[in-house]
Each structure stands twice: as structure tokens, then as C-alpha cells.
Structure 1
Amino acid sequence: MTPDAFVEHFGRLKASAILRTNDQEKAALAMEAAIRGGFRIIEFTLTVPGVYDLVRDFSSRQDLVVGTGTVMDTDQAQKSVEAGARFLVSPVVDEAVIGAANELGVAAMPGTHTPTEMLRAHRAGAQLCKLFPSPSGGPDWVRSVLGPMPFLKIVPTNGVDHHNAGEWIAAGAFAAGFVAPLFVAADIAAGRWDAIEERARQCIAAVA
């Protein structure tokens, strides 16, 4: 899948499931629950133990597009793509990582918090801008930024849940990433996979 094809796919589905946890087995089970709930674009942060094995396993499935998060350098970018990642997400704007993603033929989604950072990321070759952390202005902030820069594809992640995701999309967000409000830590610890699956269904419905 080319970067442009991924962006088009993400724009249609409007949602990604983003998992950060400290247990490889539970990470797999939690993500399976999100997939049963309807997610088809998924992301494992590189802080998850055994993350490259997880990416390799899940990316072998034809119905999924898998990416990695917390990509901080070009070596991590290379390993992610070798494992099967089709998009790379970072918490900051790092031109070297964006450049590596482009050279490796995958989409880049650096973390941005200001209009200046978004334009910088865009000019460096990033196809998408992760909004992180979420600004106090909420969805209205996205609407304001897109006024003068409608070419940006902004993806909020921090604090997005099934209650407010529709507001972000209505304000012009390209898509939304669901993190802790989807993968509630207590549910992962207790193995409450049905709870995660149900929230996943609610998240998917919220952006439909």
C-alpha cells in the first residue's frame, strides 16, 4: 500500500486503534477485541514489548493496515517497515523520520501541536499531522487552523473518545485515533476484552 493509498483508505474509514501497554500477550488480545469491534487500521506503539512481532503477525492479515507509533529515529522506522508497518507515527516533528518514511514508501504522521509545526511537517513530506496533545480549543481549534491551511490532514488522538469523535470530524479533522479511552488500562489488566470490543463499536459508529 502506497502512502497515497493509505491516506485515501484512512480518509474513508476515519478511525485508527492505537495501543500502548506493557504486556505483549495482552496487547494482542486487546487489539483483537478492537478488530472484532470494527477497527481495520491499527497501531502499536514501539513501547509495547515484542512490538515488531506483533506488527508482523497482524500485518499478515489482508483486512488490516498496521502502523507503529512512538517512532523516534530512522532505525526504528526501518525495523517497523521491515515488520510490515505501512504508516509511521511520532509524538514530535522529526524531519529525519519523515524522510525515512518517504524513502521506505510508507506514510508519515508526526505529532504536531501548533500551526507552525503542522506546516513544517507538511513541507518536510508528512502526509498526515497527528494532533498531540489536544489543544484546549478542542475541535474548534482544528476548524480555525484549516481556514488558512485547508490542505492539512489533521488527525487528533489525545483524549478522543466515542462521545466527542464526531465533533472532531465535523470540525474538519481528517480522521481520529483512539488510544486510552478505547484501550482502558483496567480492562486490559483484567482481560475484559468484551468491554474493549463494545467501545470499539461505539468509536467506529461515532465517526461513521
Structure 2
Amino acid sequence: MNASATDVLGGHRIVPVVVLDDPARADALGAALVAGGLPVAEATFRTPEAAAVLRRLADNDDLVVGAGTVLTPRQVDEAIEAGARFIVSPGLSADVVRRCQEVGVPVIPGISTPSEIMRALDLGLDTVKFFPAEANGGLPTIKALAAAFPQVRFMPTGGITADSAPAYLAHPSVAAVGGSWMVAGDLLRDGRWDEVAARCAASTTLYGLGAPA
């Protein structure tokens, strides 16, 4: 039986969403994530160097690295070849999901509607990415969707901050949240690795905080 996405995340409930176009900075970024106690990364396929960045991050045995913004089965293969241990997509592509299932890698497709959740269930999935979270109504929408689909777990991503994350994480249907506040573009560009590590460490304290669901 293939491992689930939540199994691969190893209990980490915040997933840093990394957009990095310089593979030479990947080693320092990986070290900062590990030092901050958040050794997880979703390296997005948004730049020409994405596969190289993912490969460098995956070379760090202390990191669990996945590929984000995966749009095609070919990108699935590229990501896995580079070392991705899970796949995240902004939308629900049956071709992408099936390719991930064929090769045995967990996939978290993006959804924003009940119909998309039903398609994900038809494909045998029970964990989905709610995206873009804030633009689609945020936590109130997740609560409404969870009431209709109690078997589904969500990873909301898009517009979530350190301030809003605790309320999401307090909801029992939220497996994890994706965010970039600890790996913000200016921090990566300026090489502020101590700040990345500090924000990661602060993020790990957000689990279980926030208003009751």
C-alpha cells in the first residue's frame, strides 16, 4: 500500500512553499529549515531551475521534499527523478493523479469546489489542497466543505500567514497548511538564513493554537 501524503509529512503540519530560482542557495535553505525544526519543503515548479533546486534540497537526508505546482504527468516524472517524495498540484488533473498513483508517490491536488472534491474521491484520494485558500473564503469555506465531506482532509494554501494559520490548524479536517511566510522571497534573495530558521521555529509553535473549530 502506498504511503499517504500525511504519512510522508511525518507529522509536520506546516509546509513551507518554496519559490527559488538559484540552486546554489538550496543547500543553505535546507540547512535553515532543518535548524528551525521544520524539515519539510514544497519546491514549486515555477522557475526554470525548479528541478535543480528540488534535487539539491532532496540531497539533504534530513529534509522531506516535495514538488509543487505540478501540472503534467511529465512534470511528475521530472520531480520524482529529482527526489520528490510527494506531489502537490494547484488543481485537480486526473492524468497527474493517476501518474502519481502509478509510480507510488503521494499526491495532493488542488480543489476549491464540492464537485472537485467528488472527483478526487472518485480517484481514490482523501487529502486535498484547498487553493487559493483565502481568496476562496478561507476557514469558513473549509468548515462548510468538511461538513459535507467528513472523510476528507484539507491542506489549505494561498494567502495564509503566521497570524491566520493557528485557526486553520485548529480545525479537525485540516491536516496541514502550506505557507511562504517563513521562506519569503526577500529572505531567500538576501540569504537571511537565520531569519528563515527563526520563522520556522516560531511556526512549529502554531500547532494546536487558535480558536476552537
Deviation at 1:130, TM superposition (A): 0.9
Q: Relative to 1, partners in 2 of residues 1:77 and 1:9: Cα closer, same or farther, differing over 3 Å?
A: closer
What's the secondary structure of 1:116's corresponding residue?
helix
Q: Contact conserved, 1:101 with 1:107, CA < 8 A, in 2?
A: yes
Deviation at 1:162, TM superposition (A): 1.9
- In the alignment, which residue of structure 1 is the partner of 2:11? 12
- In the alignment, which residue of structure 1 is the partner of 2:70? 71
Distance (Å, rounded) in 2 between the aligned partners of 1:189 and 1:58 = 16
Q: Contact conserved, 2:33 with 2:196, CA < 8 A, in 1?
A: yes
1:124 corresponds to which letter in structure 2?
L
What's the secondary structure of 1:173's corresponding residue?
coil
Q: Contact conserved, 1:3 with 1:127, CA < 8 A, in 2?
A: no
- In the alignment, which residue of structure 1 is the partner of 2:175? 174
1:104-115, aligned counterparts within 5 Å? 104-115=103-114
Deviation at 1:28, TM superposition (A): 4.0
- In the alignment, which residue of structure 1 is the partner of 2:164? 164
- In the alignment, which residue of structure 2 is the partner of 1:52? 51
Deviation at 1:14, TM superposition (A): 1.2
Cα deviations across residues 130-183 of structure 1 (Å, max 9, x unaligned)?
11111453212212211121111100111222212110011231111122x222
Query: CA RMSD of the aligned region, Å?
Result: 2.1
Q: Relative to 1, partners in 2 of residues 1:136 and 1:186: Cα closer, same or farther, differing over 3 Å?
A: same
Q: Contact conserved, 1:68 with 1:88, CA < 8 A, in 2?
A: yes
2:96 corresponds to which letter in structure 1?
V
- In the alignment, which residue of structure 1 is the partner of 2:188? 188
1:1-208, aligned counterparts within 5 Å? 2-4=2-4, 6-10=5-9, 12-134=11-133, 135-171=135-171, 172-179=173-180, 181-207=181-207
Q: Contact conserved, 1:23 with 1:48, CA < 8 A, in 2?
A: no
Which shows bigger deviation, 66-75 or 111-120? Answer: 111-120
What's the secondary structure of 1:130's corresponding residue?
strand
Distance (Å, rounded) in 2 between the aligned partners of 1:73 and 1:132 = 18
Distance (Å, rounded) in 1 between the aligned partners of 2:194 and 2:205 = 17
1:107 corresponds to which letter in structure 2?
P
Which shows bigger deviation, 165-174 or 18-27? Answer: 18-27
Deviation at 1:82, TM superposition (A): 1.9
Identity %: 29
**Count of residues in correspondence between the two structures:** 206
2:152 corresponds to which letter in structure 1?
L
Q: TM-score, normalised by structure 2?
A: 0.86
Deviation at 1:61, TM superposition (A): 3.7
Q: Relative to 1, partners in 2 of residues 1:127 and 1:83: Cα closer, same or farther, differing over 3 Å?
A: farther
Distance (Å, rounded) in 1 between the aligned partners of 2:126 and 2:9 = 11
What's the secondary structure of 2:100's corresponding residue?
helix
Deviation at 1:76, TM superposition (A): 0.8
Cα deviations across residues 44-75 of structure 1 (Å, max 9, x unaligned)?
11124433233333334443221101111111
Cα deviations across residues 68-111 of structure 1 (Å, max 9, x unaligned)?
01111111101111222111111111100000000010011111
Deviation at 1:11, TM superposition (A): 6.8
- Residue ranges of structure 1 left out of the alignment (5+ in a row): none
